[in-house]
Amino acid sequence: MPRELTVDAPDLVVPVREGAVNEPLRYALRSWAANLPHGRVWLVGHRPRWAVGVEHIPTVQGGTKYKNTTAAVEAACQHPGVSSTFLLANDDMFVMHPVVGGMPVLHRGTVRSVETYYAARSSGAYLRGMRETRDLLESLGIANPLSYELHVPMPVDKLGMITVLEYGRHLDVLHKRTAYGNVAGLGGEEIRDVKILHRAPQGYGPNSRFLSTMPDSFAFGHVGQFIRRSFPSPSPYERPGSR
């Protein structure tokens, strides 16, 4: 049994896009092996050739990134081997310190406050999906819903998520974390988002519990160097000597 496998801990479910060597995933796995108690790891979609000791659920990735990740989450929820409660993570989410007592439920504040932030900076499918998800939740009687669109692992109940995905089937950009968190009544602790978008050494530090990156900030930024220095040793999820 790999040293990071924890009996009775939830599995990790990770949607993975096609075709990438995916160095962030390599270091995310190192961080989870070191700091996040979990059962099996399920890569849903693509599995890099270097990844070993993981389960794999292939999916067809023929849609937008939003449709592809929703299909991945649905496939995990429908798979009988995935634990009934699992941790939903992206391949660029890093757990920087040991998690004790289970992964906490974290949120970003109200959807309306997050909307205001994004509306001042951008427009497009993501913001539209945020608004449509908020409208969906309000139609279900959930006033002033919380945003769970953080770049940290999130505890998910399979049956609850399947129900939420059915509620939002008509949306092309469903904010599924937010929809699930509110319908399930998770509550939780409010934090700012941990994704670092830039190359500069700011926005995080040695006390950061969680981090996430963009491709550029991971490859060329100070935060990428910091993450790679934090986890220099291969995890049991890497084929020895592989890149």
Q: Is residue 104 scored above 70 in pLDDT?
A: yes
Longest CA span, the chain: 53
Average pLDDT over residues 5-34: 90
Residue-wise pLDDT for 29-45, tens only, equals 999 999 999 999 999 99
On average, the pLDDT of the chain sits at 94
The span from the CA of 65 to the CA of 201, in Å, is 29
pTM: predicted TM-score of the whole model, two decimal places = 0.94
Q: 143 — alpha (psi -120 to 50), left (phi > 0) or beta? A: beta
Q: Is residue 5 scored above 60 in pLDDT?
A: no
Q: How far apart are the first and last CA of the chain?
A: 24
Which two structure tokens, joined as six digits, stand for 157? 């109940």
Give the pLDDT of residue 1: 32
Residue-wise pLDDT for 130-166, tens only, equals 999 999 999 999 999 999 999 999 999 999 999 999 9
Could you tell me which of 13, 24, 32, 15 has the C-alpha nearest to residue 236? 32
Give the pLDDT of residue 4: 47
CATH number of 11-230: 3.90.550
Q: Are strands 85-88 and 11-16 parallel, antiparallel or unpaired?
A: parallel
Q: Which pLDDT band, with edges at 50, 70 and 90, does 26 fall under?
A: very high
Q: Which helix (H) or strand (E) holds 2?
A: none
Average pLDDT over residues 102-109: 97
Q: Is residue 120 scored above 70 in pLDDT?
A: yes
| Contact (CB, 8 A) for 90 and 15 | yes
Give the pLDDT of residue 171: 96
